Structure 1
Amino acid sequence: MKQMEVTIMGQSYLLGCPPGGEAALTAAVAQVDREMSAIRDAGKVKARERIAVLAALNLAYQLADTPREAAASTPVSSPEVDALIKRLDEALGHDGQLL
């Protein structure tokens, strides 16, 4: 398995990549970076872990709710993001720790 160094929200990661999967991994990294950066830039969430969870939820929602070809172009609306933030805050409690 090949290893690729990628950057998401300014932080480098070394990821395993199967032969021939470089383009797909690069596209996935770009999509995650865009989603996380958009959440960070909205200014409502500061903790990196919460941004990652919200980005994962947004991307999963897009995949479940839209055809695969259109998933990247369908943003989750602001009320939905606010509801996700509220649910995440309740689940994490006061300490803000995921685990």
Structure 2
Amino acid sequence: MKQIEVQIMGQSYLLGCPEGGEPQLREAVDRVDAAMCKIRDAGKVKARDRIAVLASLNLAFDLAQREASLAAVAAPAAPAPAPGAGSGTDDIDEAHAAQLIRRLDQALAGDGHLL
């Protein structure tokens, strides 16, 4: 396993990194660093461990919201039409389409990525 050195809130850390996982790990480090610095810069919390816990909770909450939005988009919004009631899955009314677009917009609101 490869090791990489990163900095979070000005402190260096040596992290184990699986082969091919460095870009994802560096992105995660950037997110954690940004979340912790935002809390520190707000000035209400000084202790590094409390900042880390609050940042972790914020990131976990954001992830849970994103997962819920994706699940809502993937979940069927209405029962399948009865036989002979139209052409089946190709029929999507405007209200249903608008609802799907709103859900997708919510899923993308975080950082512009679905995942």
TM-score (norm 2): 0.59
What residue in structure 2 maps to residue 17 of structure 1?
A: 17
Residue identity opposite 1:15 in structure 2: L
In 2, Cα distance between the equivalents of 1:26 and 1:53? 20
For residues 2-81 of structure 1, the aligned pairs below 5 Å read 2-67=2-67, 70=108, 72-73=110-111
Alignment deviations for residues 22-63 of structure 1 (CA, whole Å, 9 cap, x no partner) = 000000000000000000000000000000000000000000
Cα–Cα, structure 1 residues 15 and 72, in superposed 2: closer, same or farther, change >3 Å?
farther
Identity of aligned residues (%): 66
Cα–Cα, structure 1 residues 3 and 58, in superposed 2: closer, same or farther, change >3 Å?
same
TM-score (norm 1): 0.69
User: Secondary structure of the equivalent of 2:12?
Assistant: strand
Structure 2 gap ranges (5+) = 71-106
| Contact 1:63/1:71, CA 8 A, preserved across alignment | no
Task: Give the superposed CA RMSD.
Answer: 1.7
Cα–Cα, structure 1 residues 64 and 13, in superposed 2: closer, same or farther, change >3 Å?
same
Count of matched residue pairs? 73
Q: Give runs of ≥4 in structure 1 deviating > 6 Å.
A: none
